[in-house]
Amino acid sequence: MTGGMGGSWSPFVFFPLMFELTFQELSVGVVGVALVFVCGAVWISRWSNGNAERRGVRFRLVCRLCRHVWEDRSRERYPVCPSCGADNRRRRRPRPW
């Protein structure tokens, strides 16, 4: 493949922007990009794990008498414990932030 009017091949046809970097600048850049990638992956993992935890706790109830734990997806204000039959009042959970 020739670049231009029949001349020899030139890399500047495909890569018009060339940067001159020292080995130190290149290594700092690679380590910096890797650090940003790892920190982003950790943040995304913690965020998705926190969302799953909040979704799991949303419908979980604890009986005030027998301490039985169960999941109730109904909208009743006073759900009945399946173990002892006691009425339990739903509490609003405080926001974590």
Higher pLDDT, 46 or 91: 46
What single letter denotes the amino acid at residue 15? Answer: F
At 73, list the tokens.
Answer: 């997806």
Would the pLDDT of 13 be above 70? no
State pTM to two decimals.
0.48
Q: What confidence tens digit (pLDDT) does each residue in 17-52 have?
A: 667 889 999 999 999 999 999 999 999 999 888 887
What does the H/E/C string look like for the chain? CCCCCCCCCCHHHCCCCCCCCCHHHHHHHHHHHHHHHHHHHHHHHHHHHHHHHHHHHCCEEECCCCCCEEECCCCCCCCECCCCCCECCCCCCCCCC
At 4, list the tokens.
Answer: 């231009």
* Sequence-separated (6 or more) residues with CB below 8 Å from residue 78: 87, 88, 89, 90
Say what the pLDDT of residue 51 is: 81
Say what the pLDDT of residue 41 is: 96
Residue ranges covered by each domain of the chain:
59-97
